[in-house]
């Protein structure tokens, strides 16, 4: 129990600044802010017994007239403490953290559905928020009545709501259920209606608290399309456990843990820190950075490697060839990828019982290390590692990510060796080889994240996870849409028979 239980409002709008920031008028840089939080904190009083609340109230009243000793009958719980950050207008800002870290409390403070215990938070512009799912709806009212109810909360007149009603109904796409009580709605239908109302507020700042985790995939795609359009002019605060969504949507982010702000920065870097925190909560991890002299970069080890079978590239001789490749290779459409060397000093974490010593890309035909490759060509990704212990059932895997940290593709060795007993001897280097056609990539920077673990796909221990172990740059691209392109085997245009 708490002395001031949080009241959650599904949709909240503020058209005025929530307070004054000292020095705002004198600092031109601050005039571009959408949200400014300074030393923000929220504390709740927790009572062991109901009668303690009564005792505390009585004692506090009597102390006005009697010299009674002050005594606490409660303990303090700080849901948030000393939170300071700024969000610029037009920026997409992520808030990430484990359950109980204070994310929802922070959003409620920003939306003024909670009052802060310490500090201040200011918003500049109309705010629309989608917080706890279903709150703010009267379950006895129909969907239609709740649209008008929420419109009134937003400060819209009945005429303005009526003008937007058909657009809201079309966006929600819940059919005849709009005239049924909301208490009969599924969580997905409730989210559809709530998001549809929020999308038609014409707000300058949107605040979304993990609501997109509910609902079907098609509606989520519609929501993301709306958010991308909104990002062009509006400010978005986005909370999610999905690191892919955060890195995809957000430019910057903050990491919360136990009510404290642990880090603020680039969304991709914050997502990586969150991943390390989640894995660290399940196992002991430490910072791992290989010394260049201790790596086996650029070398190939043979001989006694335990009972690990060599992994040879397996692609049939009849591997299909893009008939346009001869033209593409002599045109600006060729996807040229510059490969940089493995960087052992990049940030990594894990138990430390083993470590990745090399990540290389080889030419499929010659086996030589590539410093330049072409999208659509066959390559071999080699991840080399060494263990300090006898390693049962090792798993080596990788992700290829773009500059935003979005995972484009990846794989690991688990499925291939799930029915094979594999035992790696300590101190003997071993490697995994992944043979595939490199997709065509848009212009930009790309990274290979590599990991070494032991166990199973579902239950494993990370020995070494290294971010950005290998990087490469795409200098030219021919695909028009999508994150990656694939070699097209055949294209034909003809009349139908």
Q: 130: closest CA among 12, 250, 5?
A: 12
Q: 122: closest CA among 204, 57, 35?
A: 35
Q: What pLDDT sits at residue 377?
A: 86
Residue where the block lists tokens 């849901």: 79
Q: What pLDDT sits at residue 133?
A: 64
Cα gap 133→357, rounded to integer Å: 47
Cα gap 286→418, rounded to integer Å: 28
Q: What pLDDT sits at residue 162?
A: 92
Task: Tell me the pTM.
Answer: 0.70
Note the pLDDT tens digit of each residue in 463-485. 999 988 999 988 876 655 678 88
Q: DSSP of 438-463, one letter per residue?
A: PPEE-SEEEEEEEEEEEE-SSSEEEE
- Return the DSSP state at 227: H
| Structure tokens given for 85 | 């950050």
Which fold does the domain 28-266 belong to in CATH? Rossmann fold (3.40.50)
Positions of E strands within 267-413 = 286-288, 336-339, 348-350, 354-363, 372-374, 378-387, 391-392, 394-402, 407-412
Q: How far apart are the first and last CA of the chain?
A: 74
Q: What pLDDT sits at residue 142?
A: 93
Q: What pLDDT sits at residue 214?
A: 65
Backbone region of residue 115 per phi and psi (left: phi > 0; alpha: psi in -120 to 50; beta: other values): beta
Cα gap 192→186, rounded to integer Å: 10
- Return the DSSP state at 334: S
H or E element that contains 80: strand 74-88
Number of C-beta neighbours around residue 224 at 10 A: 14
Q: Which residues of the chain register pLDDT less than 70? A: 1-31, 132-136, 154-155, 211-215, 290-333, 477-481
Cα gap 256→315, rounded to integer Å: 47
Q: 308: closest CA among 428, 454, 456?
A: 428
CATH number for the domain whose boundaries are 286-485: 2.70.50.60
Domain range list for the chain: 28-266, 286-485
Note the pLDDT tens digit of each residue in 175-204. 899 999 999 998 888 888 888 888 888 888
Q: State whether residue 491 is helix, strand or coil.
A: coil
């Amino acid at each position: 129990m708490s002395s001031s239980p949080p009241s959650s409002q599904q949709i909240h709008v503020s058209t005025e600044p929530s307070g004054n920031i000292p020095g705002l008028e004198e600092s031109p840089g601050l005039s571009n802010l959408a949200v400014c939080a300074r030393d923000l904190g929220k504390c709740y009083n927790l009572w062991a017994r109901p009668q303690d609340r009564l005792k505390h109230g009585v004692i506090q009243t009597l102390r006005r007239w009697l010299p009674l000793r002050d005594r606490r009958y409660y303990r303090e719980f700080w849901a948030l403490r000393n939170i300071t950050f700024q969000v610029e207008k037009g920026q997409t800002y992520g808030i990430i953290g484990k359950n109980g870290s204070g994310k929802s409390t922070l959003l409620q403070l920003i939306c003024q559905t909670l009052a802060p215990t310490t500090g201040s938070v200011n918003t500049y512009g109309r705010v629309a928020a989608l917080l706890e799912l279903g709150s703010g709806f009267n379950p006895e009212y129909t969907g239609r009545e709740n649209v008008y109810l929420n419109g009134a909360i937003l400060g819209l007149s009945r005429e303005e709501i009526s003008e937007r009603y058909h657009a809201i109904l079309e966006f929600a796409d819940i059919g005849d259920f709009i005239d049924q009580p909301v208490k009969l709605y599924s969580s997905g239908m409730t989210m559809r209606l709530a998001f549809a109302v929020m999308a038609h507020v014409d707000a300058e700042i949107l605040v979304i608290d993990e609501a997109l985790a509910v609902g079907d995939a098609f509606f989520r795609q519609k929501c993301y399309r709306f958010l991308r359009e909104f990002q062009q002019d509006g400010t978005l605060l986005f909370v999610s456990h999905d690191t892919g969504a955060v890195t995809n949507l957000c430019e910057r982010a903050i990491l919360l843990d136990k009510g404290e702000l642990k880090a603020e920065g680039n969304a991709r870097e914050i997502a990586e820190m969150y991943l390390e925190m989640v894995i660290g909560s399940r196992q002991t991890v430490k910072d791992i950075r290989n010394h260049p002299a201790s790596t086996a970069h650029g070398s190939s080890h043979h001989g006694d490697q335990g009972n690990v079978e060599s992994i040879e590239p397996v692609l049939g001789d009849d591997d299909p060839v893009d008939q346009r490749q001869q033209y593409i290779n002599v045109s600006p459409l060729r996807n040229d990828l510059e490969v940089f060397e493995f960087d052992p000093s990049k940030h990594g974490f894990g138990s430390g019982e083993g470590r990745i010593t090399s990540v290389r890309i080889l030419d499929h035909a010659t086996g030589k290390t590539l410093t330049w490759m072409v999208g659509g060509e066959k390559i071999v990704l080699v991840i080399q590692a060494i263990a300090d212990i006898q390693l049962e059932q090792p798993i080596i895997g990788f992700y290829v990510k773009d500059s935003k940290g979005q995972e484009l593709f990846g794989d690991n060795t688990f499925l291939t060796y799930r029915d094979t007993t594999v035992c790696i001897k300590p101190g003997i280097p071993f490697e995994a080889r992944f043979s595939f056609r490199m997709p065509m990539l848009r212009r930009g920077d790309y990274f290979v994240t590599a990991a070494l673990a032991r166990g199973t796909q579902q239950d494993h221990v990370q020995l070494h996870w290294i971010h950005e172990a290998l990087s490469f740059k795409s200098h030219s691209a021919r695909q028009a849409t999508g994150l990656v392109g694939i070699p097209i085997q055949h294209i034909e245009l003809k009349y139908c028979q």
